[in-house]
Amino acid sequence: MTHILHRAIHSKLPVAVRGQGIEIFDADGKGYIDASGGAAVSCLGHAHPAVLAALHEQLDTMAYAHTGFFTTDVAERLADRLVDDAPKGLDHVYLVSGGSEAVEAALKMARQYFVEKGEPQRRHIIARRQSYHGNTLGALATGGNEWRRSQFRPLLIETHHIDPCYAYRLRHEGETDEAFAARSAQQLEDKILELGEDQVIAFVAETVVGATSGAVPPVADYLKRIRAICDRYGVLLILDEVMCGMGRTGTLHACEQDGVVPDLMTIAKGLGGGYQPVGAVLLSGKIFNAFANGSGFFQHGHTYMGHPMAAAAGLAVQNVIRNENLLANVDAMGDHLETRLIERLGNHNHVGDIRGRGLFRGVELVRDRSNKTPFDPSAKLNVRIKREAMARGLMVYPMGGTIDGQTGDHVLLAPPFIVTDRDIDTIAERLGDAI
């Protein structure tokens, strides 16, 4: 009998007792390949010796110092590293403890930026339908999933949603990518004009859509068009790379592949690789300067922001990625994973699409492959596939409601960056069997 309030109150979960490399072991000694990285978190797998050594050292030195009293060498070094490696223009950083906190901070930064600039009338946020940006109230209001939001209305901030720009052919058949990207981006301009040219604070989107849609990259040029529209109306662009960022897609930041630099970018999950809870907002000089030249501070803060243990984990993970040249492995193993998934599942009658970038891949499940009809939600494919995969010693991240919050199913794969060809072969084999 557990006293923990799990998300699913009645679910019976195995007890995890040990993690090593790409596997987690339960109390019976059974190993599970962590092909989802938890939820795209464990980018270095488990018990990486370099990360453990850095954490032990930090713990011996000092576990905690409140940022109201001190800065710390470890937090400064992490911030320097994040800024050095960020797309040009993102030259400041705000450290938090996770993805939702990063999104909350970014939203408040965006709002305060306009207050500092003397444009307090701007109060609208625009995001996309079906999106997920976290579970705290501001992040929840920003996300576009009605099922998650409905019980918590009225939500605290005014968010408006436009359509996502999914590359999934069936849903824009007969249209070129260029036309689809243009039409999708045009929705942003229409929404800004509907709300008022000088009324919108920010547009928020994931660069590559993760949990809600299963590793869907943007259609070519979509984000460039979005960037141009934001610039035209002085709207800030917030890219949420909590899930797709920090190397997951083969470049440190996913948006590098789209040639777009946002005004604010949220990162978390892979930043600390699961070794500590840590997240951050990367922000442009123009936002930093508005605070510096205005009220002099960002009106926000959390007890654990800049936590030395979290910073030590972030720094150690970033060092390992660099020292072990892991982005190249993400690229190579990502290609190998795609190949194996296509071989194993490409002709499967219930697989409608295989997509993604790097070690961030999605397999969409359909009732009928010829017309891509989705399964009825009552089939509960996500529950069944997770169960079948776990029985085979495989952790994957299946999700329902891909298309409209109710119907549509996919499986998300986000294995650690340290995987080998053989690991990938096993993952594809076990997933194929589970499906």
User: Which residues sit at the interface with ligand PMP, rule CB under 6 A?
Assistant: 39, 98-100, 103, 132-134, 206, 210-211, 240, 242-243, 268
Name the minimum Å distance from CB 405 to ligand PMP.
Answer: 16
Name the minimum Å distance from CB 100 to ligand PMP.
Answer: 3
Name the minimum Å distance from CB 166 to ligand PMP.
Answer: 15
Nearer to ligand PMP, 99 or 218 (CB): 99
DSSP class of residue 114?
Answer: H
Name the minimum Å distance from CB 174 to ligand PMP.
Answer: 31
Nearer to ligand PMP, 113 or 132 (CB): 132
For 160, the 3-state DSSP assignment is strand
What pairs with residue 128 in β-bridges? Answer: 162
Name the minimum Å distance from CB 240 to ligand PMP.
Answer: 5
Nearer to ligand PMP, 144 or 250 (CB): 144
Q: Are strands 264-267 and 360-365 parallel, antiparallel or unpaired?
A: unpaired
Residue environment code for 50-80, b if the CB has 16+ CB neighbours within 10 A, otherwise e: ebeebbeebeeeeeeeebeeeebebbebbbe
Please list, in sequence order, all residues whose beta carbon lies within 8 angstroms of the beta carbon of residue 371, skipping any fewer than 6 positions away: 170
Asked if residues 314 and 278 have their Cβ atoms less than 8 Å apart, the reply is yes
Tokens of 264: 């604010």
Place of tokens 């053989």: 422
Name the minimum Å distance from CB 134 to ligand PMP.
Answer: 4
What pairs with residue 266 in β-bridges? Answer: 240, 281
Name the minimum Å distance from CB 102 to ligand PMP.
Answer: 7
Nearer to ligand PMP, 280 or 424 (CB): 280
For every residue of 377-419, DSSP letters joined together read GGG-HHHHHHHHHHHTTEE-EEEE-TTTSSS-EEEEE---TT-
Tokens of 327: 């982005």
Name the minimum Å distance from CB 104 to ligand PMP.
Answer: 9
Nearer to ligand PMP, 272 or 340 (CB): 272
What pairs with residue 400 in β-bridges? Answer: 409
Nearer to ligand PMP, 44 or 268 (CB): 268
Name the minimum Å distance from CB 348 to ligand PMP.
Answer: 27
Nearer to ligand PMP, 159 or 426 (CB): 159
Tokens of 94: 């705000």
Nearer to ligand PMP, 249 or 426 (CB): 249
Please list, in sequence order, all residues whose beta carbon lies within 8 angstroms of the beta carbon of residue 271, skipping any fewer than 6 positions away: 245, 246, 278, 279, 280, 314, 317, 318
CA distances from 120 to 82, 89, 123, 417 (A): 31, 25, 7, 44
Name the minimum Å distance from CB 272 to ligand PMP.
Answer: 10
Closest C-alpha among 223, 228, 221 to residue 240: 223
Please list, in sequence order, all residues whose beta carbon lies within 8 angstroms of the beta carbon of residue 200, skipping any fewer than 6 positions away: 122, 124, 125, 126, 191, 192, 233, 235
Name the minimum Å distance from CB 429 to ligand PMP.
Answer: 27
Nearer to ligand PMP, 215 or 243 (CB): 243
Q: Which residue is nearest to ligand PMP (CB)?
A: 99
Nearer to ligand PMP, 138 or 210 (CB): 210
- Residue 390 half-sphere exposure, CB side, CA atoms within 13 Å? 16
CA 166 to chain centre: 16
Tokens of 291: 């605070």
Q: Are strands 16-20 and 264-267 parallel, antiparallel or unpaired?
A: unpaired
Nearer to ligand PMP, 306 or 345 (CB): 306
